[in-house]
């Protein structure tokens, strides 16, 4: 097989991993992402080539890119701190009142991994009632349980302290200062934007809902171009767990804020704070919203420094920041188009990250 990045992406498309994909990276002080792409961003009708202007559903990359970054900015302003109890901000949080913001950010707050909040008969405005009704999986700090409801709760907390909905808080405090309004947004549709195709139906979520004993007909209607996650669609496409769309350049650029030394928006102290592993002794190594590459079985790859941070998204996205080597690596795909592919993407992601870091080493020797 071709050992180049372009060859890897093309092989993945031919193998049916995704109809198309875009890989992007930056080294050191570079601000503009380099990229390679392969395949089509949309099937049916006139094919659209995947490329740097293609907007992808970033899925759970929303968690670190939006929620963690906004938390750090609120902490700087003195409105939030890691030890703050959820109940001090949202008294109606029920069994999760005593969890701290650090617990939520590290997935140790005791919330379950996933739940169809829309299936409990509530309206979007009653989302706290749905969260309050969830059964804790354990006490705060007791275990790492990767939790989408936990980040939905964090999104509600951020809306409370910023006095803005999450989309506006992101645009005003992150996208605009970094000149990324045309690269990252909760609203994917815009003049001239090419949006990667989404799922024709919520097949994977139907099975998840059914397995929990809920009625799949309660899943919010799936419309191409909207966020794939049902809870995020229920909340109007804006949630702390999912909903952000963007281009490869936007993802890499925001990822650069978490390099050692910080960036334009985040300070060195803030990027260090986010990357520090806070779950020693647990099965998964977690920073603030980020996974640490020392986590067993993660998508980082063997060439990654052990304290690198990253995240993946269900739709087929990933982002890793090797803080020691000064490298940001993002891989965007739409494996759920037109129907979800139940393929383990981690080998593909690890190989991609390894190839990028090999490029970095070759460049350093040149």
- Helix ranges (H only) for the chain are 5-14, 62, 69-77, 86-89, 101-105, 127-132, 148-162, 166-170, 203-211, 230-234, 248-255, 268-275, 346-365
Half-sphere exposure of 104 (CA within 13 A, CB side): 33
Instruction: Indicate if the alpha-carbon torsion angle 25, 238, 60, 73 is positive or negative.
Output: positive
Q: Which residue has the higher pLDDT, 323 or 46?
A: 323
Q: Which two tokens stand for residue 142?
A: 């007791």
Tell me how far apart the alpha carbons of residues 19 and 337 are, in angstroms, rounded to a whole number.
7
Q: Where are the domains of the chain?
A: 5-61+181-365, 65-175
Residue 2: predicted pLDDT: 58
The tokens describing 268, both together, are: 């060195």
CATH topology agreement for domains 5-61+181-365 and 65-175: yes
Query: What is the tens place of the pLDDT at every residue in 142-164?
Result: 999 999 999 999 999 999 999 99
Q: What is the mean pLDDT of the chain?
A: 95
Quickly count: other Cβ atoms within 10 Å of residue 273's Cβ: 18
- Which structure tokens are listed for 203? 């097949």
The set of residues, in sequence order, having a beta carbon less than 8 Å from that of 119 and lying 6+ positions away, is 209, 214, 215, 218, 219
Q: Is the pTM of this model over 0.95?
A: yes
Q: Is 366 a residue whose pLDDT tops 80?
A: no
Per residue in 239-251, pLDDT tens? 999 999 999 999 9
CATH of 65-175, one of 3.40.190.10, 3.30.70.520, 3.90.1150.10, 3.40.710.10: 3.40.710.10
Q: How confident is the model at residue 365 (pLDDT cuts 50, 70, 90)?
A: confident
What's 142-167 look like in SS3?
CCCCCCHHHHHHHHHHHHHHHCCCHH
Summarize pLDDT for 308-331 with one digit per residue, the tens. 999 999 999 999 999 999 999 999
Tens digits of per-residue pLDDT, 48-77? 899 999 999 999 999 999 999 999 999 999
* 5-61+181-365: in CATH 3.40.710.10: yes
Based on the number of CB atoms within 10 Å of its own CB, is 123 exposed (0-12), middle (13-18) or buried (19 or more)? Answer: exposed
> In degrees rounded to 5, what are phi and psi of residue 213?
85, 15
Bridging pattern class, strands 34-42 and 327-333: unpaired
Is residue 1 predicted with pLDDT exceeding 70? no
pLDDT tens digit string along 241-285?
A: 999 999 999 999 999 999 999 999 999 999 999 999 999 999 999
DSSP letter at 312 equals E
Alpha-carbon distance 203 to 124, whole Å? 23
């Amino acid at each position: 097989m071709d050992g180049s990045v372009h060859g890897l992406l093309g092989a993945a498309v031919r193998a049916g991993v995704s109809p198309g994909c875009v890989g992007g990276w930056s080294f050191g002080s570079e601000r503009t992402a380099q990229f390679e792409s392969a395949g089509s961003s949309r099937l049916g009708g006139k094919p659209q080539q995947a490329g740097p202007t293609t907007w992808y559903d970033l899925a759970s990359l929303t968690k670190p890119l939006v929620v963690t970054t906004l938390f750090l900015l609120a902490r700087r302003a003195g409105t939030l701190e890691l030890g703050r109890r959820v109940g001090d901000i949202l008294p109606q949080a029920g069994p999760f009142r005593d969890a701290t913001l650090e617990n939520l950010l590290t997935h140790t707050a005791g919330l379950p991994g996933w739940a169809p909040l829309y299936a409990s008969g509530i309206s979007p405005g009653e989302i706290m009632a749905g969260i309050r009704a969830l059964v804790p999986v354990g006490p705060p700090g007791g275990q790492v349980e990767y939790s989408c409801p936990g980040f939905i709760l964090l999104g509600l907390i951020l809306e409370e302290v910023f006095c803005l909905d999450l989309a506006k808080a992101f645009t005003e405090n992150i996208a605009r200062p970094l000149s990324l309004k045309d690269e990252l947004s909760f609203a994917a549709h815009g003049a001239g934007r090419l949006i990667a195709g989404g799922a024709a139906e919520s097949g994977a979520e139907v099975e998840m809902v059914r397995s929990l004993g809920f009625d799949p007909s309660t899943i919010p209607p799936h419309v191409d171009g909207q966020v794939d996650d049902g809870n995020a669609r229920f909340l109007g496409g804006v949630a702390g767990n999912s909903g952000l769309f963007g281009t490869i350049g936007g993802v890499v650029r925001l990822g650069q804020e978490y390099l050692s030394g910080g960036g334009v928006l985040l300070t060195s102290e803030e990027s260090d704070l986010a990357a520090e592993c806070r779950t020693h002794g647990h099965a998964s190594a977690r920073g603030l919203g980020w996974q640490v590459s020392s986590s067993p079985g993660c998508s980082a790859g063997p060439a990654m420094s052990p304290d690198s941070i990253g995240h993946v998204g269900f739709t087929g996205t990933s982002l890793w920041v090797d803080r020691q080597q000064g490298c940001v690596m993002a891989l965007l795909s739409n494996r759920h188009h037109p129907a979800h592919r139940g393929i383990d993407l981690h080998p593909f992601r690890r190989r991609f990250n390894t190839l990028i870091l090999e490029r970095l080493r070759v460049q350093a020797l040149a």
